[in-house]
Structure 1
Amino acid sequence: MYSFSSSVSAIPLYNKNGCSSSITTFKKLSFTTCCSYKLKKLSLSINNPCYNNNNINIMSKCLKSIATFPLLIHTLLCFLLFPQPLLSHDISGFVRLPARPTIITPHQLSESEPQQVHISLVGRDKMRVSWITEGKHTKSVVEYGTKSGEYSKKATGKHTSYQYFFYNSGRIHNAVIGPLEPSTTYFYRCGGSGPEFSFKTPPPKLPIEFVIVGDLGQTEWTASTLKHVDSSDYDVFLLPGDLSYADTQQPLWDSFGRLVQPYASKRPWMVTEGNHEMEIFPIIYPHGFKAYNARWAMPFQESGSTSNLYYSFEVASTHVIMLGSYTDFDAQSEQYTWLQNDLANIDRSKTPWVIVLLHAPWYNTNEAHQGEGESMRKVMEDLLYQARVDLVFAGHVHAYERFTRIYDNKADSCGPIYVTVGDGGNREGLALNFKSPPSPLSLYREPSFGHGRLKIVDETRAYWSWHRNNDTDAVIADGVWIESLSRSKACSGRPDQKVVHEEL
C-alpha cells in the first residue's frame, strides 16, 4: 500500500464548493471544466464534487483524450494552465473560507496487524466486523466472547481488495458474527491475533440513542467532533455521506479508517454515500464508489436492496432508511422501487419510528448547494410523506439547520422534520452564508461544527439535540421534543388530509 510522504501530506487538496453549479456557468468546455480542484496535493481532480444530481456529469467530455494520463501529469497541467483562486464560490456568490489541513493518521503496526477496524449492524442480532491488513497471509477470522481475553466463538468471513490507478489496497476483511445478545458488551480480535477490541450491542427495545453527523473528513475539527461524540454514551452512529474526503487519493481512505477506528470499533457505524465518495474517472472508473463499496460494506442485501448505496435496517422499534443521492432515483429506478417496497413493509404498530438519511438536502436556506437535492425531492417526497416518515437527515451543506415539518415546500403537521447536519469537521470549512430574511420554515440554523443526537424515549416521544463544538465542550445549542407521526391522531387518516401553512 502507498504511504504518505511528508511532502505530499503537507500540501492537502481542497475541492471547490458548489463545483457542479460552477461548471454550468462555463461558455464552453475547457481544461478548467476538468480541474475542479486547486492543486494543494498531487491529485487527480476529477471526481464526485463535480457531480450535480440535477445535471449530467460533463467530465467525460473533456477527459476522453487524457483518461490514460498519469495522475501527476494531469494535475500539473490543470494547475499550470488554469490556476484556481484562493477562495472558491458557486453561482450564488457564496464564498467559502480557506480550508483546514487534513490530518494524516499513520499506520505504525506490522503488516499482519489489523487496522481500520469498524463494525456495522447486520439484521437484528448480528454485527459485521471490517478491518484491513497489509499482509497477504492473514485470515478473515473474528474471535469473540463476553469476557475479555476469552473468545468462546469464532466467525470466518471473506476478504477483498481493489486497485485505483497506481494504488493497491490491502486485504479488506469482512466477517459477520452472531447471533448476539442485546445490550451486551462483547470482546473481539481480528485475524486470530492483535489487539482486543470491544463493542456494546444496541438495546432490544426503546429507549435508544443515535448520534448523527455528516461530512466528517479528517481535520482538527473532525477530531474535536469525534471527541465530543465519545464523551457521552450512545448506541448507533449514523453518517449521511462524505466520510474521508479522499477525493481519489486512496491513502486518505486508510488514514480516515485509522482516525475513526477508536470510535467505529466500539459502536456500529451505519453510513451512506455523499458526493466525495464517488471518485469517478470516465472510461476507467465510470461508475465510481470503488473504494467506498469495498471499505464500507452495509447490510443492503438483508433489506432487499441491490446496491450498497441504499439500504435500511431496524433497531429498537426504529426503522432507518439510508438513501443514495448519487445513484439513480427516478421513478423507474431500482432505488425508487426498493424504497416503495421498503416503506410498504414497515409495521408501524411494532416500529413506530421511521427516519431517513441522505446526503444532498431537499430543503436548504443556505447559499451553498442550492437546489442540488431538488430533483430527488420531487421524485421521492410523496413516498416519504405517505409513509409518515418522522425525520429526514442530510449533510452536504457544511452547517446546521432544522426545519419544521414540511411537505412540498409548505409547513405540514404530517410531514417529516428536515435536519441538515453537514457540520462534522471536513477540510472545506463552514458554509457561513444563509439566505436573508430567514424562511419561516427554518426554525434554527447556524454555521458551526458539531454533532446531533436523537434519543427515542418511547413509542411516542423523542428528543433531538444539536451539540456545537465549543473548545473542550460540546454545547447544546438546539433541542426539540418530537412526537411520532405513527401515534398522531391528526395524521392517522388519508395522506391528503394535511395541515398546510407557510410556503418556503
Structure 2
Amino acid sequence: MFFALRAVTVVAFATAALAAPKTNPDQCNENTAPFQIRLAYAGDKGMAVSWNTKQQLANPTVYFSKNEILNRFARSDISTTYPTSSTYNNHVVITGLKSDTTYYYMPACGNQTYTFKTARRAGSSTEFSFAMIGDMGTFGPDGLSTTVGKGASNPLKPGEKTTIESLMILKDSYDFVWHVGDIAYADAWLKEEKAGYITPVNQTDGGAEYDKILNEFYGQVEEISSIRPYMVGPGNHEANCDNGSDLEICLPGQLNFTGYRAHWNMPSAESGGVENFWYSWDHGSVHFIQFNTETDFPNAPDEPGGEGDEDAGPFAPSGSQLAWLKKDLASVDRKKTPWVIASGHRPWYVSTTECLECQAAFEPLLLQYGVDLVLHGHKHFYERHAAVDNGTAQEIDANPTAPWYIVNGAAGHYDGLDTPSLPYVPTSRKVISVYGWNLFTVHNCTHLSTQFIASGNNSILDTATLIKDRTC
C-alpha cells in the first residue's frame, strides 16, 4: 500500500510592497499568534518558514525585507493538523531572494522580528561551518534533566548546559543545524510515566501527554530554529511509539511519521526528493544529501516485516529513493561543489548493532560517486571512524577515496547515553560517551574538519581533519 504524499511545500507567491496589517487575511488573536518558528533552506535563493498556531489559518503569511520595515510578504494555503495535535502547522516558502543575504522576517500576527540568512551561493569557496546533532529530545522535567527514572541513566550534572543551550551560546559559529533523526522523543511518554519520571496521567488521555512533550521540544528549539535553518532527517522515533510495549494505546498522531511529516518543510520540491524523507541542497562548496534509512528501500527496518516492524511507509513507489539518490549524486558538479556530504539516521559502521540493510542499500552508491563524509545518529554516543571502503579503513589525512564516517547520537534525551561494544570495530578511531554535538568546518576544497563539543561546558573533546588531494 502506498501512502499519499503530504503537500507541505508551497508555491512561491508574488511579493508586494504593502503594509503588514493590510495584507493579513487572518484575524489576529491569541489563537493565530505564531510560535515554534522554524526555518529550512529552499535552494540558495529561498527560505521555508514554518510555525504553529492554535487555530487553522486561511492563508499563512510571512512579512520580510532586507531591513526592519517588513514591506514584502509571501503567502500559502498550507495550515494542517493531525490526530492528537492541539496545534496547526503552517508553511510558507519565500523565493526570489539573494543568496548569502540577511533578511528580517515575522509570521503574521507575531510581535517579534527575526532574521535569517539565505544559503551561500553554490560554488562559493568561502569557509563556513555547520552544526550536526542526532537523537535530541526535550530537556527539563519531561525529558533529560538532572534526574532520571527507572531504567534510564546518565542524568545531567548540576550546572551542565543542555545541547540546546550549548548551540545557542555558540550560534555565531555555524550557518545551520542538521538534526539527523530522532526528534523530541515524545513517543516515550508512557515509558517515562511507568518509570516514575513524569507524573502519571490517564493512559487514555487521547495523546495529551505526547502532545505536551512534543510542543515543549519545539518551543525549546525555537530559539535556534527561528534564527538558523534547522535541517532534519527521519529517525525511528519519528515512525514508532516507544511507550513500553503498550502499543494498543498508540494513537494515529504518534505513528508512521505523522508529526514529522506535518512539522517540517525540507527542500524536496527543489531537489526532486520526497517530503522530509529524502532531499538535497547546495551550500557554498558542498552538496548536502539527506537520505532515509527507515523506509523505502529493500528490507527497510521500519516498514512491515523489517527489524523495527513499525508498519510505516513506504512513501513512494518501490525503488524511488535509490533511483533519486543515484540521479542526485550523478548530477553533482564537483567543480562547483567539490564536497559531497550525506546523512542517514542508522549507521552501518559502528561499535554496536549495525544496520546491514542500510549498508546494502546505500553504501554502493556512496562509494560509486565519491561521497566525502557520511553522518549518522541512532546510537547514543560519539564515534569517529576512518574513511571506509567495504570494511577496509583508509586514513582521512591521506586522500581517501572512500567516505569518512561519523556517528553522533549524543545530543541527549531521557534514556541517556549508550555504551558501545568492546572491542571497537576496526574502523573506529575515537569513541566518547558524553552529551555533545559536532561543529564541521569546510575550510576550502581540500580540507574539512570537525570538532566534537561537549554540551555541558562547551569544551572540545575531539578534532579531526579530512584532507583531499585536489585543485581548488
TM-score, structure 1 as length reference? 0.69
Q: Do 2:232 and 2:276's aligned partners in 1 also have CA atoms closer than 8 Å?
A: no
In the alignment, which residue of structure 2 is the partner of 1:67?
A: none
In the alignment, which residue of structure 1 is the partner of 2:48?
A: 128
**Equivalent residue pairs, number:** 370
- Of 268, 273, 279, the residue aligned with 2:234 is 273
Quickly say closer, same or farther: Cα 1:158–1:137, change in 2 above 3 A.
Answer: closer
What is the Cα deviation at residue 279 of structure 1?
3.6
TM-score, structure 2 as length reference? 0.74
Q: Distance in 1 between matches of 2:364 and 2:57?
A: 51
In the alignment, which residue of structure 2 is the partner of 1:482?
A: 466
> Is 1:203–2:143 an aligned residue pair?
no
Provide, for residues 366-413 of structure 1, a one-character-per-residue CA deviation record: whole Å limited to 9, x for no partner: 4xxx02x11110122111011111111111100000000101111143
Pairing of 1:127-206 with structure 2 (within 5 A)? 127-136=47-56, 139-148=59-68, 150-164=69-83, 167-204=84-121, 205=124, 206=126
Quickly say closer, same or farther: Cα 1:162–1:144, change in 2 above 3 A.
Answer: same
- Matched residue SS, 2:458: strand
Q: Distance in 2 between matches of 1:321 and 1:444?
A: 25
Q: Distance in 2 between matches of 1:202 and 1:482?
A: 23
Q: Do 1:140 and 1:191's aligned partners in 2 also have CA atoms closer than 8 Å?
A: yes
What is the Cα deviation at residue 180 of structure 1?
2.3
Greater relative contact order: 1 or 2 (C-alpha under 8 angstroms, separation 6 or more)?
2
Q: Do 1:401 and 1:442's aligned partners in 2 also have CA atoms closer than 8 Å?
A: yes
- Of 369, 377, 380, the residue aligned with 2:362 is 380
Quickly say closer, same or farther: Cα 1:307–1:402, change in 2 above 3 A.
Answer: same
Q: Distance in 1 between matches of 2:277 and 2:131?
A: 20
Q: Distance in 1 between matches of 2:178 and 2:74?
A: 25
What one-letter code is carried by the residue in structure 2 that aligns with 1:197?
A: Y
Q: Do 2:446 and 2:467's aligned partners in 1 also have CA atoms closer than 8 Å?
A: yes
Q: Distance in 2 between matches of 1:307 and 1:155?
A: 21
In the alignment, which residue of structure 2 is the partner of 1:421?
A: 408
Q: Distance in 1 between matches of 2:108 and 2:221?
A: 20
- Note the residue ranges of structure 2 that are not aligned, 5 or more in a row: 1-28, 146-160, 188-206, 242-246, 300-317, 395-399
What is the Cα deviation at residue 246 of structure 1?
1.5
Once superposed, what is the RMSD of the aligned Cα atoms?
A: 2.4
Q: Do 2:266 and 2:275's aligned partners in 1 also have CA atoms closer than 8 Å?
A: no
- Note the residue ranges of structure 1 that are not aligned, 5 or more in a row: 1-108, 490-504
Quickly say closer, same or farther: Cα 1:260–1:138, change in 2 above 3 A.
Answer: farther
Quickly say closer, same or farther: Cα 1:115–1:217, change in 2 above 3 A.
Answer: same
What is the Cα deviation at residue 265 of structure 1?
0.5
Pairing of 1:361-376 with structure 2 (within 5 A)? 361-366=347-352, 370-371=353-354, 373-376=355-358
Q: Distance in 2 between matches of 1:406 and 1:452?
A: 20
In the alignment, which residue of structure 2 is the partner of 1:315?
A: 283
Provide, for residues 276-320 of structure 1, a one-character-per-residue CA deviation record: whole Å limited to 9, x for no partner: 101477998597111100111211121112343111111112111
Q: Do 1:202 and 1:208's aligned partners in 2 also have CA atoms closer than 8 Å?
A: no
What is the Cα deviation at residue 460 of structure 1?
1.4
What is the Cα deviation at residue 346 of structure 1?
0.6
Pairing of 1:230-269 with structure 2 (within 5 A)? 230-232=168-170, 233=172, 234-247=174-187, 249-269=210-230
What is the Cα deviation at residue 419 of structure 1?
0.5
Quickly say closer, same or farther: Cα 1:137–1:460, change in 2 above 3 A.
Answer: closer
Q: Do 1:219 and 1:426's aligned partners in 2 also have CA atoms closer than 8 Å?
A: yes
Quickly say closer, same or farther: Cα 1:327–1:139, change in 2 above 3 A.
Answer: same
Q: Distance in 2 between matches of 1:198 and 1:307?
A: 25
What is the Cα deviation at residue 435 of structure 1?
2.4
Provide, for residues 336-393 of structure 1, a one-character-per-residue CA deviation record: whole Å limited to 9, x for no partner: 1111111111111111010111111111114xxx02x111101221110111111111
Q: Do 2:297 and 2:361's aligned partners in 1 also have CA atoms closer than 8 Å?
A: yes
Quickly say closer, same or farther: Cα 1:446–1:394, change in 2 above 3 A.
Answer: same
